[in-house]
Amino acid sequence: MIRKIREFSRKVSIEFKVVVGIVLFTLAMGSIDRYQLSHNLLSQFFEAKKSKNLLLVNMIAPILGLNISFGLDDANSEYLDYIVKENPYVTLIQLKNTQQRIIYENKSDEWNPTRENWDESAKKDINFCDKNIVDPSSNSIIGSVRLHFSDKDFQELQSANRLLTLNLIAITLASLSLFVIMIKREFRHLKELNESVLSYDPKLNNFSLTKSNRSDEVGVIQNAIVSMVEKIGLYTHILDETNLSLEGKVVERTKELVEANEKLKALSVTDELTGLANRRYFGKYLEKTWELAKRKSVNVSLVMCDIDYFKKVNDSYGHQMGDEVLRRVAAALNESLKRNTDFVARYGGEEFVIVMYEGSLDDATLLCQRVQENLKKCQDLAFEGVKIDPVTMSFGISCVVPDKDARYESAIKKADEALYKAKENGRNRIIGC
């Protein structure tokens, strides 16, 4: 029997099995919805029954109050007997006076309290309804009435619903279990096929699977792979010879690519005009330097410097002269650096930035003064026979010891503010903070 099932499973397509899985999944979702629906129906039935019980109590209470106020005990007895007769689901009616003495009681055959102290338990039982009897003329309490209602119909409905729900869940679980076992078996074949493909080496010719007699998708895929492996074996030798001839070319091309990548890498971090580091690389360098200074608890000095009246140079002599000024200034800045840890970059336009790791405010000031001296060497600045006025720069310095909450952006902001003050105070100034 099991063998026949396996053979049938091999002939059935995966598409059909997936459809079966979807159907089973839908059945499972339907079971869940059925359970939720039945729960809601039971709740509605429960509330309806409760409302009906309360309606009956509220209906008879005024009549009982009127009869008691006139002393018509016999009339109450007849009325309550009639209520019991017309409402077979009422299993108990008990009427008490203000002294809690029972003046009327009617119990049906179904009434059989199982609790020892049912008076206390009845307070929590929804089948019990207690109602005070009020004198219609004085609105004073003159007694109380208690009713107990049978919930036999509710219990039967609840039991039948529970049984149906459990049956649906059991059927769904059984069907899903069979489907999981079937899918697991199918994936076992796919796993074997996958392992054979992954471990296959054309040079070793170690593909262990042969053509399958299965007619489903798994068998078709396996047979296709076996045919492909056979073709791969035929061309392996030709490919090996071709690869040998290509290795030399690959090595040569790889060398060219490495050189090209190095050039591209240099271009990505270097300002093309001045040859200094660009703003992008400056951000990465400052971030690393900042984190190192934070761990070592040493200071970092940041110098923002700007060429004075650079716009006039461009406007008066043209952008070619402006570019020449930028190159000369970049050379002066680079020449002024004395330590390996000092770093200079073009920040943008005519603005440059210097980073000094473990450099004090005095160290940064001395560096700025060296830049000013080197700029004086460019007094006779000329380009294509045209001379221009001497070039000066303004400098703003910030020097901080980063703490755990400090960010390097704050140092840039302080240096920029100091640079702004230097320009406000007449330019060609060094201001630190």
pLDDT per residue over 280-334, tens digit each?
999 999 999 999 999 999 999 999 999 999 998 888 888 888 998 999 999 999 9
What's the pLDDT score for residue 37?
67
What's the pLDDT score for residue 122?
47
What's the pLDDT score for residue 78?
79
Per-residue pLDDT, averaged over 334-342, amounts to: 92
22, exposed or middle or buried, with CB in 10 Å at 0-12, 13-18, 19+?
Answer: exposed
Please, which pLDDT band fits residue 203 given cuts at 50, 70 and 90? low
Least confident of 259-263, 268-272, 415-419: 259-263
What's the pLDDT score for residue 147?
80
Mean of the per-residue pLDDT values of the chain: 78
This prediction's pTM: 0.43
What's the pLDDT score for residue 350?
94
pLDDT tens per residue across span 99-111: 788 878 877 766 6
Q: Residue 272 pLDDT > 60, yes or no?
A: yes
The structural architecture, per CATH, of the domain 14-155 is: 2-Layer Sandwich (3.30)
What's the pLDDT score for residue 146?
82
Per-residue pLDDT, averaged over 58-82, amounts to: 75
Which fold, 279-432? Answer: Alpha-Beta Plaits (3.30.70)
Extents of the domains making up the chain: 14-155, 279-432
Q: Residue 422 pLDDT > 90, yes or no?
A: yes
User: Counting every residue, how long is the chain?
Assistant: 433
Q: Residue 116 pLDDT > 50, yes or no?
A: no
What's the pLDDT score for residue 297?
92
